[in-house]
């Protein structure tokens, strides 16, 4: 079976209302240098996982470096999110997730990928316990 590693536009977290609700009511999972805020979707859309990515200007001053970090996080997420998606599909749940880079230095892709893998495993474990 071939894994679908696409991250389509439908899966991007873009809605202003969803993002506001996420930060107002969401819960978080922390891994050193990356924080994830997540919440269950209020309305079912058929897309099990919507994700957004943020690299604050306060921590990383140069836009070039913020874009580099954002690309690394997106790629690590895209390649490793299939287990969480399957778990959500089995439980009939949908999530909105925002990845926030909190470190002040730039990590290599390998380091970022390891952190993303840990975070996705934690989210999967929380989902299996039924995310509230």
Q: What is the pLDDT of residues 4-58, one digit of tens each?
A: 788 899 999 999 999 999 999 999 999 999 999 999 998 888 999 999 999 999 9
Domain that holds residue 42: 34-128
Structural domain count of the chain: 1
- What is residue 127's predicted lDDT score, i.e. its pLDDT? 85
Rounded distance, CA 58 to CA 76, Å? 23
What single DSSP character describes residue 106?
P
Asked whether residue 57 is assigned to any structural domain, the reply reads yes
Asked whether residue 13 is assigned to any structural domain, the reply reads no
Confidence of residue 128 (pLDDT cuts 50, 70, 90): confident
The enclosing domain of 45 has a CATH number of: 3.30.230.10
Say how far residue 15 (Cα) sits from the centre of its chain. 15
DSSP lists the bridge partners of residue 98 as 37, 52
Average pLDDT, the chain: 93
pTM, two decimal places? 0.93
């Amino acid at each position: 079976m071939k894994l679908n590693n696409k991250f389509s536009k439908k899966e991007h977290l873009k809605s202003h209302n969803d993002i506001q609700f996420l930060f107002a009511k969401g819960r978080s999972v922390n891994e050193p240098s990356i924080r994830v805020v997540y919440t269950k979707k209020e309305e079912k859309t058929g897309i099990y996982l919507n994700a957004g990515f943020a690299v604050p200007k306060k921590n990383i001053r140069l836009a070039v470096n913020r874009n580099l970090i954002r690309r690394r996080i997106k790629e690590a997420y895209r390649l490793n999110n299939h287990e969480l998606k399957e778990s959500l599909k089995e439980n009939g749940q949908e999530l909105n997730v925002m990845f926030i880079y909190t470190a002040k230095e730039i990590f290599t892709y390998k380091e970022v990928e390891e952190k993303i893998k840990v975070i996705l495993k934690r989210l999967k474990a929380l989902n299996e316990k039924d995310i509230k």
